[in-house]
Amino acid sequence: MGAAGRFAPSPSGELHIGNLRTAVLAWLFARSSGRRFLIRVEDLDRARAGFEAQQLDALAAIGLDWDGEVVRQTERGPIYQRALEQLAEGGLVYECFCTRREIAEAPSAPHAPEGAYPGTCRNLTDAEREERRQNRPAALRLRADTASYTVADRLHGDYTGLVDDFVLRRNDGVPAYNLAVVVDDAAQGVDQVVRGDDLLSSAPRQAYLAQLLGLPPVEYAHVPLVLNERRRRLAKRDGAVTLDALAMAGFNAAAVRRMLLESLRLPDAPLDQLAANFRPDALPLEPWIFDPPQVALSRG
């Protein structure tokens, strides 16, 4: 298949300008390194009818193209099941019956990192598991043998983060994000993951899981987010932040792309031309503060 990068949105709503900026960066990272660029729809959770097509239209409108067919996670259940079976055969999976409230209220294990799963169900006896099955379906957790793992990130350098007994399959039978993303990347030949830096803390779990499954490592680049004027994560409630809303404020797709490129300190040029000269080490490392009211005023 050859090496690949990817952009993997969840079809829960319109892409906002922060999502589009990350997509542009993922495209530039991939194309500048001779990789294929793939689109994967992560629709295991929060999918809403109609938004997949709307998101793909928005990506195309700002000039992005991709290779091959769009892949959807809901069509890939068998590969997640095979990964679960592989881990289970190695004794690396156990049932967990805890609710979120029980986890939050449970005392942490001695020396456990803050936020780590406390291991409540890790060593249940067969009888205890059978008793709990009568009251609540089980999630499946990874039986991790480390508390941390280090990944190399193109923009952040070496990053060491928490690894605990994280969920592999939810108690409703849906594969968890950390499992699905690792399996999908390997199956698609993705060896470069460019995404928002709010996901940096999840990379050690995913890299560790990939190692357990015998999958090749990926190159990470966690890029700065777009924040609102209060320096909080940009959200649709901030106003004119989606392509359609910006169009109503007088900014067509070409103008939005110019804004995105300017925020990345890149010239307004065809994307293929930019890819030929793209230098990740020249990217701004601070968040981009986007103020929709000021954008609208500047238009007027």
Q: Domain map of the chain by residue range?
A: 4-72+224-299, 77-178
177 known ligand binder: yes
80 known ligand binder: no
108 known ligand binder: no
Tokens of 218: 């990926």
| Lookup result for tokens 């690949």 | 4
What is the C-alpha to C-alpha distance for residues 94 and 62, in angstroms, rounded to an integer? 45
pLDDT at residue 40 is higher than 70: yes
pLDDT at residue 249 is higher than 90: no
Average pLDDT over residues 230-258: 87
159 known ligand binder: no
10 known ligand binder: yes
pLDDT at residue number 230:
87
CATH of the domain spanning 77-178: 3.90.800.10
pLDDT at residue number 300:
46
Write the class of the CATH domain 4-72+224-299: alpha beta
Select from 91, 81, 99, 89 the least CA-distant residue to 169: 81
pLDDT digits (tens, 9 = 90+) for 176-187: 999 999 999 999
110 known ligand binder: no
pLDDT digits (tens, 9 = 90+) for 183-214: 999 999 999 999 999 999 999 999 999 999 99
The DSSP element (H or E) to which 21 belongs, if any, is helix 17-32
Strand partners, 41: 72
117 known ligand binder: yes
42 known ligand binder: yes
Spatial neighbors of 288 by CB under 8 A, at least 6 apart, are 21, 224, 225, 226, 227, 263
pTM of the model: 0.93
236 known ligand binder: yes
94 known ligand binder: no
pLDDT digits (tens, 9 = 90+) for 87-143: 999 999 999 999 988 888 887 665 566 778 999 999 999 999 999 999 999 999 999
Select from 123, 221, 196, 117 the least CA-distant residue to 163: 117
96 known ligand binder: yes
